[in-house]
Chain A
Amino acid sequence: MLNLKTYLKFLSRNKLYTFVSIVGFSVSLMFVIILGLYVRQQLSVDDFQKNRDRIFLMTHDNKTNFGNPVAPYVKENTPEVESFVRIVSREIALGQKGNDKIKAKALFADSTFFRVFSFKLIEGNPSQVLEAQKSVVITRSFAAKTFGAENPIGKSLFIENSEHTITGIMEDIPVNTIITDADFVVNYNSITLVFGGNWVLDTPSNFGFTMFFMAKPGTYLPSKAPVLLEAFKKDFWFFSRGFSDDLKFMPLKEAYFEAENYGNMELRHNSRTTITVYMAIAILILVIALLNYINLTVAQAGFRGKESAIKKLLGCGKSRLISQLLAESLLITAVTFIAGLLLAFLAEPFFNNVLNTSLDLAYQFTPSVIGICILFVVIISLLAGIIPALIISSFNPLEVVKGTFSRKVKSSYSKGLIIFQYTVAIALLICAIFIQRQSRFLINYDVGYNREGILEINNTGLDTTQLDGFKAKLLGIPGVDLVSFSCGTPLDGGNNNSYDLDGEQFSFQEFYVDSAFFKIYGITIDPTGIPPSNDTWWLNEKGYKAVHVDEATQTFSVWGGEYRAQIAGIFNDFKIRKLDQDYNQLRMRWRRNGETPWQIIVKMSPGSDYYSMARRVEEEYTQYTGGELFEARFVDEGIQRNYESVQKMSSIMSAFTLLTIVIMVMGVFAMSLYLIRQKEKEIALRKINGATEGEVLLLLNKDSLKRVAIAFVIACPAAYYAMTKWFENFSYKIGLSWWVFVLAGLAVLFLTLVSVSYMTWKAARANPVDSLKGE
């Protein structure tokens, strides 16, 4: 007790040291705690599924998934398959026809869902609850929100205007699963309501459906894939024509990290690289924080060294001293850990947002995690404490007796640690700047079409007879310039049409548009001379080059070469969806009279209040459709959302870089305090011998300059390498401009000089007599 009291006294007397140590350490630990729990959460995704080793996601390399009949086909032809679950996740409109709708997240799943996956049912039997047509299982929170205290079982839910019956209640879908969050799970056959017909269940060539298979115990499904692939080649044209030559059963645990690469948009996913990056960041933060603490503690070891030398003189053994110092380290680590934990709770919303998750810190603290935390604190306190303890305890009592006790500590490796901090700071700053610039570059890239003041509304309720009337209504709103009805927009990407022609595979993204569409998006046509009609196409430049156009007739083959269509004109290669997904061939034609548009596009006058106009449009829409859901987005915001992951990466990197720099600045400031105190005598002697304040200042700052320069030389290649790797993920990217490197170096140098200068300036101005009198 006595010893900890002494230590507390020491801390309260060295407030700067204490402040810098505790604040720097606890903010870092906050990062480490959050990132650590995040990584843990991500790596433990679907661990709670009892059948996790038997569940596989079926994929192939064309990123298009499968048609619905494929699932029963696989089960029939593969004795190892016990059952399958197909999944469709959609935002749907909830409510009776003619009433105002609310938006809800629906998960359509086969009746096997609750037998294959281990989602807990509060009410209902897992093997029966989804059996009936139009049955629906609602989550606990949706039940509470919608029905309050009433028992919802047996009640009706109108999904896409069709009555469903609630047969069960389930716990909310947790974040640590590949299955996306939903308000309720609906019997799979109800997807016919979303897609508008039974054909969606019966057509093998209508792709895009996600399917899981559960193997019988003791069998190994992935080994059956080659046999199945051969069968597919016989029975499904997509495989027989060679669009895909691959079939895979992907284990559930792997699917979370891999499925995205196979086009499974229905599922939650994460990338291993991201997890690795965050893990690396957490470790790096920990190392920096530890080094900073060690550095500071060593730097002022001289002050504690006297105490330790006297104790040794009075008969205290070295091992006892070391254990005391380690106990102190444990104390400060425990305090900072608790502070870090509190900060983590405060910062949780920010991280939930940038990490796209719900960390639920309070919920994560199970006994085993608490155990890990305690172990972590002990290990960290050992790592942080052992070097200072060895240095402090090795002071020779003889020096005390001699009265020549010097407060100097060999600072050669302290300097090394400082250089390391500078290096990390510079490298991170370089990376953070590049990532941020890349994120802006992607968002602001000239996609080849207009993006400002354009509202895209999903058509959830207008039929073709209502279009003209609705258009007139919208054009009546002051500030609405143009209204277009289309199937597909650049942001949404239109429909895909794949076929082969002369042995080559073509994949067109196609749009059915009206004349306002061209004006709104600023897409210009270079006419071929063929007058546009319902049967002619406009092709983009790349598409025009690819399709073997017959120059004389301006025709090209469509649909397997069985027909030829005329080309009315050529338009520029604008970029659809995201930049890094390259879609080469685009084509457009008039939307025909009977075709229900997918989108309603509203162009507003530049400079008008877009948001209040969007509300006006919404009112009109809701009224006109009798309460259908209004789902809309502005094109520029949609583009931004496409690069959300890069933006979030940029936010994390910026926060982390800021943290590193703050620790660095605090560390350098505190270090300068101690290093300069050790130099007081030298400064005094130099001044007595005629050095001016300016010369002393230069002398003291020269060291910092040198260290930053060394750090710069190490940091540049490291950052260059890391960024080259990172940029490999992008097909559209900025260059690695040299000035970013220089800027980062100068920034760190500037911050260093600012943080050091207060102390050096004070030291340089001090009266030399005071320093010499002191000893």
Chain B
Amino acid sequence: MIKINDLRKVFRTEEVETIALNNIAMEVKEGEFVAIMGPSGCGKSTLLNILGLLDNPTSGEYWLDTKEVGHLKEKERTQTRKGKIGFVFQSFNLIEEMTVYENVELPLTYLKVKASERKKRVEEVLRRMNISHRAGHFPNQLSGGQQQRVAIARAVIANPKLILADEPTGNLDSKNGKDVMDLLTELNREGTTIVMVTHSQHDASFAHRIVNLFDGQIVTEVQM
């Protein structure tokens, strides 16, 4: 599903040049659950951004399915991303002015799904995430765990083949954290590919494979 070769990402300012990713090669198969670990500043998030088509690598190849997507323009990246990749963040990133229902519905509106169909799918996913009773609430009326469940609902509503999760349990207590990890595991079991950046050894243990990054390079890969 994902194949990257020789991937480099260099941040340049006038005085310094920082190599965030240094000739990385990596493959993620369809249906896999991969955790990326490493100390702060090792390049985890940079890698995830490139995988999520939010950023382009400085050089190297990135094959998503059968397409090389490493050097697309912003507009093309948006098109490719749409419906294919779901995002889950540490800080949830829900739109404050929208209800739970509207937040979850949003990706479908961009895919031009019909209203009746949208209603069916949003209700279904909310039920599944166990937050149907909160559909009319605004994010700031929910607990952190509930907000993250909404975020996951939003990430999966369009049935993406790939979910990218950036520290999904970082802002949650252990109980809510476990719920979120259970949800992700379940999604993975149903066939969704998941790449997750985490600091937590415990969260990483849910994955099939752990990739350890250090100073922009893959140092070890551990198959679980």
A residues lining the B interface (CB < 8 Å)? 2, 5-7, 9-10, 13, 306-307, 310-318, 320, 397-398, 400-403
Contact = CB atoms under 8 A, between A and B. Distances in A.
Given A307-B96, A400-B93, A403-B89, A314 B154 contact: yes
Given A315-B111, A401-B87, 19 more contacts: A2-B98, A2-B102, A2-B105, A2-B109, A6-B95, A6-B98, A9-B138, A10-B97, A307-B95, A307-B96, A310-B95, A311-B106, A312-B78, A315-B79, A315-B81, A315-B83, A317-B78, A398-B49, A401-B54
Contacts of A320: 110
B4 to A, nearest CB: 18
Contacts of A10: 97
B97 A307 contact: yes
B89 A401 contact: yes
Residue among A2, A13, A312, A315 having the largest count of chain B Cβ atoms under 10 Å:
A315
A403 B91 contact: yes
B107 interface: yes
B215 to A, nearest CB: 19
Contacts, number: 73
B98 A403 contact: no
B55 interface: yes
A603 B75 CA distance: 87
A9 B93 contact: no
30 contacts: A2-B102, A6-B97, A6-B102, A7-B97, A9-B138, A13-B96, A306-B96, A307-B95, A310-B93, A310-B94, A311-B95, A311-B106, A311-B110, A312-B78, A313-B54, A313-B81, A314-B106, A314-B107, A315-B78, A315-B107, A315-B111, A318-B74, A318-B75, A398-B49, A401-B49, A401-B54, A402-B45, A402-B49, A403-B89, A403-B166
A10 B95 CA distance: 10
Given A315-B111, A318-B75, A401-B52, A13 B82 contact: no
Contact of B110 (A9, A315, A318, A397): A315
A401 B78 contact: no
B132 interface: no
A6 B105 CA distance: 13
A9 B54 contact: no
A505 B98 CA distance: 85
Contact of A398 (B55, B82, B91): B55
B23 interface: no
A398 B110 contact: no
A54 to B, nearest CB: 63
Interface string B58-97: 0000000000000000110011011100010111011111
Interface in B91-128: 91, 93-98, 102, 105-107, 109-111
Contacts of B48: 401
Interface string B147-180: 0000000100000000000100000000000000
A13 B97 contact: yes
A401 B98 contact: no
B55 A314 contact: no
Contacts of B55: 398
A194 to B, nearest CB: 73
A34 B91 CA distance: 50
B98 A9 contact: yes
Nearest to A397: B54
A324 to B, nearest CB: 11
A332 to B, nearest CB: 15
Contacts of B97: 6-7, 9-10, 13, 307
